Amino acid sequence: MHHFVYRENELYAEDVPIKKIAEAVGTPFYLYSHATLKRHFHTFNDAFQGIYPLVCYSAKANTSLAILKLFSDLGGGLDIVSGGELYRGLKAGFSSDKIVYSGIGKRVDEIDYALSSKILMFNIESLEELELIDKRAGILKMKAPIALRVNPDVDPKTHPYISTGLKKNKFGLDIQSAIEGYKAANRLQNVRIIGIDCHIGSQITEAKPFEDALQSLINLKNEIEKFGIKIKYLDMGGGLGIVYEDESPLHPSEYAKTIAALLKDTSFQLILEPGRVIVGNAGILVTRVLYRKSGLKKKFVITDAGMNDLIRPSLYDAFHAVQPVVKTEETQIVADVVGPICETGDFLAMDRKISDVKKDDLLAVMSAGAYGFAMASNYCSRPKLAEVMVKDNQFHVIRARQQYSDLMEGESIPSFIQG
């Protein structure tokens, strides 16, 4: 459930008409509902009563500072995959001992930054990374808290680009390699084994993949404890899906029951890394119709938002509902909703039945709070769009729209090509 609803044929965000925001801010822009963000966090967190997991929001879904600050204030932790996300998280007020560092390609400077910040745990993806973290911790005269990321070869039944737990995926270690990895880590001087980590994919809508992955981790925990290795944290990652079109994802309470049933005889401290399930339906992309165009075989609705603003449809063929901000026509057409980028793959929707919108009408691209602005780019030298948050009957620009001058920040022309 979210707080984007029609009132007398006009779409509101909480108690603010979206048309009013567009008039003040211009288009395109991302729009988030404070009430939805807060409720989704509490719904997920409260589903695990009796288990009391550390809920580490997955920053990569949406790293906007205001959103990070909201989750920090609600007592959450943070799952990061870069030094930049660590920097943002600390600036937003997250306690460093609630930050977990995932990601397959950590650089030396990022490792040192995380060690110096005294994060809770590194989720290690390879034996070479394990060796490097041990070395850097030694240089800094520290003990690095670690978990190994295990690839349990579980099919999450999701898009192949966001599947991460199969043998063919680049992430983590297979079970046998993980056992050897834990033995190796136990011999190192500058690491402290505290956890096991797993993340099998994103936009998962069934319980079975989570059950299979968790059982695999419990079996691994029992195996490595034979070597005197004690595990405190079990990091189950994220991946819980949301409704984009006609999916029937697990409710967080069902997800919690699935996990609780398997953990009842264990002493793990559970870590969870939700991202999309908290922010996905809490945000939309608002765009304006620039032109209408009819080809020999198709109709096109051309908008001022393109693939540089929301790349998921182009990258994953992902579905996002497209709705008029003001309903004025009962007539519907079938059209491609496309952006201004000079790419055939620049579209928000293909062959979609939508309202018969006209030039200058506003459209809302729904369920765009996750992997929307976070994946936006300056392709075709387009300034990044604004971000706005609504609370009750007020709205606030949480990220200003870039100006043309911002596009050249940090650039310079060398003297040997200056006239």
Catalytic residue ranges: 342
**The amino acid at 76:** G
d(CA 175, CA 178): 5
Amino acid at 49: Q
β-strand partners of 292: 301
DSSP β-bridge partners for residue 148: 124, 196
Output DSSP code: residue 163.
B
Partners of 288 in the beta sheet? Answer: 362
Helix, strand, coil shares, percent, the chain, to 5: 35, 25, 40
Give the whole-angstrom CA distance, residue 330 versus residue 353.
12
Say whether 95 sits in a helix, a strand or coil.
coil
Distance of CA 417 to the CA centre of its chain: 42
User: Residue type for 367, please?
Assistant: S
Comparing CA positions, the residue from 122, 128, 129 lying closest to residue 145 is 122
* Tally of CA atoms within 13 A in the half-sphere of 136 that contains its CB: 20
Distance of alpha carbon 13 from alpha carbon 286, whole angstroms: 11
Q: What torsion do the CA atoms of 114, 107, 402, 300 make, to the nearest 10 degrees?
A: -120
Q: How far apart are CA 207 and CA 256, in angstroms?
A: 10
- With CA atoms as reference, report the closest residue to 336 among 371, 368, 362, 306: 306
Joined tokens for residue 376: 């936006």
